[in-house]
Amino acid sequence: MTTNQTPILFNVPYERAGFRLDQIVAEFCPQYSRSQLQKWIKSGHVLVDGKQRKNKDKLAGEEQVTVQPVLVERTDSLPEHIDLDVVYEDEVILVINKPAGLVVHPGAGNTHGTLMNGLLAYNTEQALLPRAGIVHRLDKDTTGLMMVAKTLEAHYCLVDQLQRREVKREYLALVSTEVISGATIEANIARNPRDRKKMTVCNEAVGKQAITHYRIEKKMPKFTLLRVQLETGRTHQIRVHLSWKHMPIVGDRTYTGRLKVPAGLDEATRTKVQRFNRQALHATRLTITHPLTGELCSWDTPMPNDMRDMVEALSQADPF
């Protein structure tokens, strides 16, 4: 199903004489991808002085260009009612507090019950947006704040902020070691060649740049609660970086294997640690520039009950 949007009209500045049509259209319609615009030019949804032209045609300047956006409604994912914890909503964005166990995008083995399915049911207009408006992702068992766009313009703006590293994302991570002080981890990350489901630290010639800042939020005997800030946003970045620096996240079986519980814990606390069956990682603060108003907006959400209870239990444990 396709939906026509309001046409976009503009006159080509004379100083753009000699530029290709697709270059000029991309400059005046930044909310759409270059490939999408090229398809519209090819299909006749972009007219120059009322006539269809080719992507590579060079313009002389002062022509009138009409762009007729045609958005295709996604049909590969079905709307499903899922209770969403909406922290904030206005006409252009949503901020959601994602629970543990909720997959963000449909994929192999997870075709239903995802955040995307829930968004398509929550607001039918999300079907017209890339990835139903989802701008970034959290791992299945990571909890916390996620931003979702409700318009194409907002989606472009938020993605652009991410690429420019202007979005501030802070996490709380419970690690099973006593950390002395905060620091910055700068180490490239790439797909693990031996296990394609995992990522790994690698040399600069192979991976993508990844930068993670962390500081101590709370000290406990043999454990530390860290406040982590992402500068880049690579897959599994916090989990990979902290594990690489011998600060394994409690419950992260993928990157730390079986958790070695320190000696000296009472039986109740030991059992609580052993039964914690997800990574103790929570996206606690999100700061963006609002796509519509230009104002700096920030949201906070506390740790979920299971992680909060774990921190409280470890805080009350006797020093060993």
Give Cβ neighbours of residue 172 (< 8 Å, ≥ 6 apart): 217, 225, 226, 227, 228, 281, 282, 284, 303, 307
Residue 139: active-site member: yes
- Residues 138 and 283 sit within 8 Å (Cβ to Cβ): yes
**In this structure, what token pair is assigned to residue 223?**
């454990």
**In this structure, what token pair is assigned to residue 276?**
């914690």
| Cα→Cα distances 46→4, 50, 53, 91, 192, Å | 13, 9, 8, 28, 44
Q: Which of 139, 160, 252, 300 is catalytic?
A: 139
Which of the residues are catalytic? 139
